[in-house]
Amino acid sequence: MSEAGAAVDSVAVEAAAPAATVASPARSGTARRLLGALRRRRVAGSWPALLAWLLLAAMVLVALLGPLLVTADPLRQTSSALLAPGAPGHPLGTDDLGRDELARLVHGARPLLLVSFAATALAAGVGTLVGLVAGYAGGVVEQALMRLVDLALAFPSILLVILLVAAAGPGTVSLTLGIGVSLAPGLARLARTLTAREAAKDYVVACRLGGTGAPRILLREVLPNIGGPLLAQVVMTLSVAAGFAAGLSYLGLGIQPPTADWGYMVQAGQELVYTAPRLVVLPAALTLLFVVACNFAGDDLRDALDPRGTA
């Protein structure tokens, strides 16, 4: 390369370095940018979205604080089997083993929500990391990573979860890992698409010319700008994780008895569905409400954090 060409390149790099600081819209970090977007846009602006957020908050509070408020032992068996709702000391009655139904419903929220949130966090971490690297690196790295993602997506998710849980053995840990691994490819594909689009923009190019390293660009520049759509998808993924957790507990591959769990409670009460339908309807309805609330909340977040929306 000639001296004149080298000089031109040097000037371009020097000019691009400050541009990286000015052009980047995400200097303050992912969390602050998302909070700012939520302040500028009206979250829970419609009554279905508001109801969904309130329902999610209530379920999380019940999972965290419910066992402190409902002190009855959900595992204690008594001779008072199948008491009707409203019986003294048992507002929702008892099951076929004399266990308090209200206590079982309240205590059953914690394991289901714990598995759902943990599995979703695992899927979000793995999927986002794979998508960021694939979308930014391109070329052979992108092809290799995305072919693995396509291979994972070729399996029906529920079958993949069952295979992973069956291989590791039933239990909370294996259930969390199985659901998290099975849901990660979908988030990876979304993260890759969003990252590839951001990587072609001027502020990322300016950062590259300024000598900023790839990890810093991905974490400080790209991730904050794709965080909105990713966060909305993660919330909706939470509903899928909850459905998988409840379904596998129903099949006996998830949270194991005698732990109170909504999915297992449906399975245990199905033989009494005609004589005591509440044993099936109540845990199934609570699971359904959680899944629907997650979907509505995810849609609301997507609308609030949509960069094409109005401020």
Distance between CA 245 and CA 212 in Å, rounded? 42
- The structure's pTM equals 0.83
| pLDDT grade for 297, boundaries at 50, 70 and 90 | very high
Name the one residue in this structure whose structure tokens are 């209200």. Answer: 102
Q: What is the largest CA-CA distance in the chain?
A: 94
Place of tokens 């509903």: 239
Confidence of residue 304 (pLDDT cuts 50, 70, 90): confident
Which CATH topology does 13-67+99-304 take?
MetI-like fold (1.10.3720)
Poorest-confidence range of 42-51, 52-61, 169-178, 280-289?
Answer: 42-51
Distance CA 267, CA 56 (A): 24
pLDDT for the residue numbered 302: 85
- Of the pLDDT bands very low, low, confident and very high (cuts 50, 70, 90), residue 131 is very high
Specify the range with the lowest mean pLDDT, choosing from 3-12, 27-36, 262-271, 275-284. 3-12
Place of tokens 């969904």: 52
Alpha carbon distance 36, 27 (integer Å) = 13
Instruction: Decide: 243 and 310 in contact? Cβ < 8 Å.
Output: no
Q: What is the pLDDT of residue 166?
A: 83
Taking a C-beta distance cutoff of 8 angstroms, is the pair 6, 270 a contact? no
Q: Closest Cα to residue 95, out of 271, 251, 289?
A: 271
Q: Are 239 and 305 in contact (CB under 8 A)?
A: no
Q: Is the pLDDT at 27 greater than 50, yes or no? A: no
Give the Cα separation of 91 and 235 in Å (integer).
33
Residue 113's nearest CA partner among 55, 163, 160 is 55
* 256 vs 17, residue with greater confidence: 256
Contact 114, 63 (CB under 8 A): yes
Residue 234 to residues 9, 166, 226, 260, Cα–Cα distance (Å)? 42, 25, 12, 26
3-state secondary structure of 27: coil
The DSSP code sequence of 33-91 is HHHHHHHHS-TT-SHHHHHHHHHHHHHHHHHHHHHHH--S-TT---S-TTPPTTBTTBT
Question: What is the per-residue pLDDT for 4?
Answer: 43
Domain ranges in the chain are 13-67+99-304
Give the confidence band of 308 by pLDDT, cuts at 50, 70, 90. low
pLDDT in tens, 172-196: 899 999 999 999 999 999 999 999 9
Mean pLDDT score of the chain, rounded to an integer? 84
Interatomic CA distance for residues 158 and 156, integer angstroms? 6
Q: What is the pLDDT of residue 301?
A: 87
Burial 35-55 (b: 16+ CB within 10 A, else e): eebbeebebbeeeebeebbeb
